[in-house]
Structure 1
Amino acid sequence: MTELRGEALYWEAFERLKSGKAQIIDTNSPSFKFTKDNVAIEAGKKKGFVKQERYPDLCDSIENTENTRCSAASRDPENSDSIKLITSQKKKANARYSKLKAEHDLCLEKMMNLLRENFELRRELQELKKSSMQ
């Protein structure tokens, strides 16, 4: 079976992803996965260009490679430690975000109260000026 030019492009991109020599996709990212969309992006196309009906062999290879990567990652204790580290960092970031959001909301409330008070004082001042002129 002869490969079409498009399919060859996707296979080359897939091989670059497998070898870690990708040009567009960051294969060192903790969120990296072998997906049809990542292969398409690495090939310089948009998401959705690699489809099961068009390239069944390629899609099967992508799925098998991802399954192999997942099973190897679950057996690797170093990877488990990095996942725990990332999870704890995410929890800390979320806690910090919640704290900052609460502080921000409190500051907004104070600011709104000051604006209301300022408005009321200006109105009172205008009324006093009107009454003193009469």
Structure 2
Amino acid sequence: MSALENYRAALHRLMNGRPQIVPKGSAINKDTVALEAGRKRGSIKKSRAENAELIAEIEAAATTQSAHLKPSAAQEVEKQKSLKKAAHGKIANLRKDYEIALSRIVSLVHENYMLKQQLIEQAREQQQQGNVTALGDFRNRHLS
């Protein structure tokens, strides 16, 4: 197989989306065709007369690929706007969840404080009624 046939076979593999050497989805250009053919980057040159037809085929394939792959600028802008809107919605939901979580934490801290105060009050009442348990002992055993 001649070098020109290797280049054409590599070009067809790239056009069909089944390259063997370069990554799938690589842009079609002279360098990727050369690499896919097992040659060095830059081995396809305009200065060689035998490459003129091959270069024209590569440029046509590159034009076809870019027309199929690149969305228009307006489509890209719309896509970015929708992604931004979705992100803002997520942020709003997360902020709401955060506020709910904070209010729950504050409520639990308040409830914990109130329960500790009730326990201290009950300990004082028991001590006044004649039970021997000291307030300090009660705190050390039950509130830690």
Interval of TM-score (by shorter of Structure 1 and Structure 2): 0.5 to 0.7
Instruction: Report the number of matched residues.
Output: 109
TM-score (norm 1): 0.54
Q: Which residue of 1 aligns with 2:83?
A: 97
TM-score (norm 2): 0.51
Give the direction of change, closer, same or farther, for the CA distance of 1:21–1:109 in structure 2 (3 Å limit): closer
Give the direction of change, closer, same or farther, for the CA distance of 1:119–1:22 in structure 2 (3 Å limit): closer
Query: Residue 36 of structure 1 contacts residue 51 of structure 1 at CA under 8 Å; is this kept in 2?
Result: yes
The amino acid that maps onto 2:31 is K
Q: Which residue of 1 aligns with 2:127?
A: none
Give the Å deviation of 1:65: 3.5
- Could you give the per-residue CA deviations for residues 39-90 of structure 1, whole angstroms, max 9, x where no partner exists? 53x55x7xxx6322xx2xx2545994388439x77xxxxx6xx899643332
Q: 2:41 aligns with which of 26, 51, 65?
A: 51
Pairing of 1:15-54 with structure 2 (within 5 A) = 16=12, 20-21=15-16, 23-24=18-19, 32-37=27-32, 40=35, 42-43=36-37, 50-52=40-42
Q: For structure 1, which runs of at least 5 residues remain unmatched after alignment?
A: 74-78
Q: Which residue of 2 aligns with 1:76?
A: none
Query: Residue 10 of structure 1 contacts residue 39 of structure 1 at CA under 8 Å; is this kept in 2?
Result: yes
Q: For structure 2, which runs of at least 5 residues remain unmatched after alignment?
A: 121-144
Identity, % of aligned pairs?
A: 11
Structure (1 or 2) with the larger CA radius of gyration: 2
Q: Give me the CA root mean square deviation.
A: 4.3
Give the Å deviation of 1:96: 0.8
Give the direction of change, closer, same or farther, for the CA distance of 1:22–1:132 in structure 2 (3 Å limit): closer
Give the direction of change, closer, same or farther, for the CA distance of 1:85–1:32 in structure 2 (3 Å limit): same
d(CA) in 1 for partners of 2:70 and 2:29?
Answer: 22
Give the Å deviation of 1:116: 1.2
